[in-house]
Amino acid sequence: MGAMLAFVRRVLACTAALLILLLQPAVAGPSAEVYGHLPVYSHAQISPDGTHVAAIQGRGRFGLIAIYDVTAPGTAPVVYAPEDWMMPRNITWANNQRLLIEVEYALKGATGVGFYPYPMWRVISIDRNGGDAKTLLSDKPELRSDHGSGSIVEIDRGDPSYVLMVAPTRHAMNYTLDIFRVDPATGTSKKVEEGKSGTWGWVTDGHGDIIMREDIDGDVTRFYARLPGSSDWNEVYHYTEDTRAASGISVIGHSPNPEEVYVAGRAGNEHQSIYRFNLRTRALTPLIAADAHADLYGAIENPATGDLWGAAFDWDHLYSEFVDPAARTLYATLQSKFPGCDVGVVSATEDGSRVVAQVEGPTNPGGAYYLFDTKSGQTTKLGAKYPELSAADRTVPQFFTYQSRDGLTIPAYLTLPSGTAGKAPPLVVFPHGGPAARDDESFSYFVQFFTARGYAVFQPQFRGSEGFGRAFEDAGKFQWGLAMQDDITDGVQKLVADGRVDPARICIVGGSYGAYAALVGAMQSPQPYKCAVGLAGVYDLRLILMERFVYAQRGYTDYYYWHSIIGDTKKDGAKLDATSPALHADKISVPVLLLHGTNDLTLAVVHGQLMAKALKEAGKNYTYIELNGEDHHLSQGETRTQALREIGNFLAKYLGP
């Protein structure tokens, strides 16, 4: 790739349609309300017998559950509304009569110096008529603790059906993550396995038997296995936070062989893929060849059984490799029906005769759901996430690479607004959160909102981003505000040098780690930006490490991860302070907009408050807005719309329309 600024269109893009869109004159785009509302129709799931489809509808504060009888087209769905403080995150059928709803909500916990919110998860079971609600894993006093919550591990849809779930169980002095067999109709549960003090997860074989346990002890993650016919647990694998990038694994699921599982890992190689992991011999054997440039993007599984179908990879475009021939044929058939779009099977009947496909592309901006009959070949549209949007409203990210100042090849995306042929539009620099995350070509309501207002959007995949190999991920260690920030700046300078954007109108906007990068960018000299926006950010590196250490005392274990990529508060203290925007507000010379949710469960609102306080004391031009009741992910349509509107007005003021 080198220094070549080689823009590569998504392989599946509808090229002719996109060229027409790019040549159209710029017009006022859809409003903040259109991009900010919760998806109108999402998470579509078909019942095992194919008679009903359930979906989350973007109504109310966090969304409602709608259940449609597909045997009676045109009839109104039955609707179930969780409590207004519960966020529906996922739905799945326990059997033909019961639907399971995974919800998240915030609780307040005392730290000794105040209160911080932390997340709770519960599973609610309802009948297909929207009634007889049962909160699972709440039938015993030790399970009704505010310390933890329950989640689904496996569903058996036999007769009688049951659900395997995990939940922290309260003991006299501690908690253990135990596994329970739960009746989805009555809510009654029975403990089938008790975890150790460091147990963090369980793996089952798809038939109700528990075969693996994951324990975390400090910075060491250990996997234990129980072979068929044995009652003994034996350690079969471990890695530390320092070796995670090279040798860490995560279990994808069961294999037809009862003595092996499928895992995602690198096994010492550069790029991640899927391996067979033999629990007896402890050997890792490649199942799907790794991509030459990118890590595993995700496993593709049969949504009805959990059986592995294949894997997806994404360097300059998303593509799939299949190990199941029938799945390969199914995806090829769906792709032929929706050319130029990304297609994924998200739900299926028990016999595979009907599947629900999620389709996203020029003809379905934001994504839509279709019911596909595998016997007749008929497709029926179920609903769309953003039905107000048309092909003319959608802009497509363009993949390219550039060189950092120290010679590292940086992947990136540039999304141009329509009607900019021969022009250099204003630019929104939009670094992602994580930072061990990545952007891709899929629909982003933020990116689409920006381009609809005439701004180009630059999304740099700076070092430390996941998905681009072991060396690239490791290169981000201890580089917060340093080389990671240089990667962002180098990309901006490349776009300016190539005449692709207006150098006089550039703003940096980000959420979470991206908010940190935005405020570090605002500290730079000479200043490349006209303004900066931080949404739900961290601005003091010592504080986030100390906060995570406090959380670790309550059983949360991610402190060791953050310590391994940010640094040590004592040994690296001077470097951490030098790259913490909250300690250097005096260096910020551009207008700043800060937004933070009051119920942020990832970075408590105190982080936004401290940055605002620092800017105020330094006499800077800033605006600070707290989003009432909002979390880290902008889960409420009202406050999501508010955030977009505030950011849009801010950009218009300092970059122009």
**Tens-place pLDDT, residues 336-359:** 999 999 999 999 999 999 999 999
Tell me, yes or no, whether 118 and 25 share the same domain.
no
If pLDDT is split at 50, 70 and 90, which confidence band does 510 have?
Answer: very high
Residue 641 lies in a domain: yes
Q: Residue range 500-519: average pLDDT?
A: 98
* Phi, psi (rounded to 5 degrees) for 178: -105, 165
- Containing domain of residue 530, as a range? 15-32+390-540+580-655
Residue pLDDT, tens place only, 449-470: 999 999 999 999 999 999 999 9
**What is the CA 507 to chain-centroid distance, rounded?**
25
Tell me, yes or no, whether 142 and 22 share the same domain.
no
Tell me, yes or no, whether 505 and 647 share the same domain.
yes
**What is the CA 287 to chain-centroid distance, rounded?**
25
Percent of the chain scoring above 70 in pLDDT: 91
Tell me, yes or no, whether 25 and 47 share the same domain.
no
If pLDDT is split at 50, 70 and 90, which confidence band does 544 have?
Answer: very high
3-state SS, 30-87, equals CCHHHHHCCCCCEEEEECCCCCEEEEEECCCCCCEEEEEECCCCCCCCEEECCCCCCE
Tell me, yes or no, whether 21 and 102 share the same domain.
no
Tell me, yes or no, whether 21 and 113 share the same domain.
no
Residue pLDDT, tens place only, 301-331: 999 999 999 999 999 999 999 999 999 999 9
Residue 261 lies in a domain: no
In this model, does residue 10 exceed pLDDT 60?
no
What pLDDT is attached to residue 20? Answer: 31
Could you give the number of structural domains in the chain? 2
What pLDDT is attached to residue 176? Answer: 87
If pLDDT is split at 50, 70 and 90, which confidence band does 554 have?
Answer: low
In this model, does residue 402 exceed pLDDT 80?
yes
CATH of the domain at 473: 3.40.50.1820
Residue 457 lies in a domain: yes
Say which residue, 7 or 179, is predicted with more confidence: 179
Tell me, yes or no, whether 23 and 116 share the same domain.
no
What pLDDT is attached to residue 158? Answer: 80
Tell me, yes or no, whether 143 and 19 share the same domain.
no
Given a contact cutoff of 8 angstroms between Cβ atoms, the answer to whether 529 and 501 are in contact is no
Residue 372 lies in a domain: no
In this model, does residue 2 exceed pLDDT 50?
no
Percent of the chain scoring above 90 in pLDDT: 78
- Three-state SS for 411? strand
DSSP code per residue over 240-296? ETTTHHHH-EEEEEE-SSTTEEEEEE-TTSSS-EEEEEETTT--EEESSPPPSS--E
In a 13 Å sphere around the CA of 436, the CA atoms on its Cβ side amount to: 17
Q: With CA atoms as reference, report the closest residue to 259 among 277, 243, 240.
A: 277
Pairing of strands 64-69, 52-57: antiparallel
Calpha distance 341→14 (Å, rounded): 8
Mean pLDDT of the chain: 90
Calpha distance 448→394 (Å, rounded): 7
Tell me, yes or no, whether 19 and 167 share the same domain.
no
Flag the least confident range among 3-7, 207-211, 248-252, 633-637.
3-7
Task: Give the single-character DSSP code of 470.
Answer: H
Which residue type sits at 450? F
What pLDDT is attached to residue 9? Answer: 32
